[in-house]
Chains A and B, each alone.
Chain A
């Protein structure tokens, strides 16, 4: 299992609106990667607090992802823009303690091709270089 996940632990915070079946869809990957992955569904990505991101890092995540709806598609209008600002703020904070800002990453999904949370997660794993269980179509993640 370590090899599968490259030994990295990740926290994935995501907007629940992205995938109405997120509960079911994330289970397969949770099973595959065990403690190397933790999901935190949010009612809207704009509700993310820098404190959640810090606590996720502090509790051992090597990488924290925040996945938002496409720009302009937030149900609460500007949630994903707010998410972007909060990621930037927290990146500034971790840089102050000498951590790489890349430990926090914002992923804005593409409006053209809606994906479920398991597909989005497999795209992330593929990008990290985890080759098993990869969804072949990872081209539409915008950083």
Chain B
């Protein structure tokens, strides 16, 4: 999932300063899971903005809405009926969702309420950790499903750096050494022989340098 965090209210207020009628739109998927942009967070932020406006004598009007997904047209279309009644959309989706809405409504002002952060997993209640950088050339198959690109601080492909202490990363002792995890998992699953292979450096041309990436599948298109 994509994780995000709410921007400081001060920054959101500055962006909203020229507007009076605000449509606050959450996303019920990734950012709801990481408690940044779901229905509850739409409610919390809207309440805070209304109270703040009241205290400072500013008149605003807020409508709260949450779409199941803010990056898929079928869901974005739910805004079509109402969007014209507002001066601005404050989106609590990830950057992809904000841009998807902007694309569907070219004349509408749309602002991000979140800082989109990383691709990760919910480790435990209230803890999200990054575990994929979307490199475009996944090697989890040979690294026992532990990503060295993301979880090794140095992104090493051919064994540990040698600096780890008692299975912790030397860069951050709060984090387990990714290579310790890779080797243990390969050992536990009887695949240590995979370590014999020498891997060339990551091919970042699959991720960067050609502008935004695209996935196109004819079988999925209409």
Chain A residues within 8 Å of B, Cβ to Cβ: 49-51, 54-55, 57-58, 93-94, 96-99
A51→B40 contact, CB < 8 A: yes
Interface string of B48-64 (1 = CB under 8 A from A): 11111001000000000
Which of A58, A93, A96 is in CB contact (< 8 Å) with B50?
A: A58
Specify which chain A residues have a CB less than 8 angstroms from the CB of B43 in the assembled complex.
51, 54-55
Specify which chain B residues have a CB less than 8 angstroms from the CB of A98 in the assembled complex.
52, 55
Specify which chain B residues have a CB less than 8 angstroms from the CB of A94 in the assembled complex.
48, 51
B44→A54 contact, CB < 8 A: yes
A97→B48 contact, CB < 8 A: yes
30 A–B contacts, CB within 8 A, in A order: A49-B40, A50-B40, A50-B44, A51-B40, A51-B44, A51-B47, A54-B44, A54-B47, A54-B48, A54-B51, A55-B43, A57-B47, A58-B47, A58-B50, A58-B51, A93-B9, A93-B44, A93-B48, A94-B48, A96-B8, A96-B9, A96-B10, A96-B48, A97-B9, A97-B49, A97-B51, A97-B52, A97-B55, A98-B55, A99-B51
Complex Cα–Cα for A93 and B45 (A): 9
Closest Cβ–Cβ distance, residue A94 to chain B (whole Å):
7
Specify which chain B residues have a CB less than 8 angstroms from the CB of A55 in the assembled complex.
43, 47
Complex Cα–Cα for A40 and B116 (A): 36
Specify which chain B residues have a CB less than 8 angstroms from the CB of A96 in the assembled complex.
8-10, 48
* A-B pairs with lowest CB-CB distance, top 6: A97-B52, A54-B47, A96-B9, A58-B47, A51-B43, A97-B48
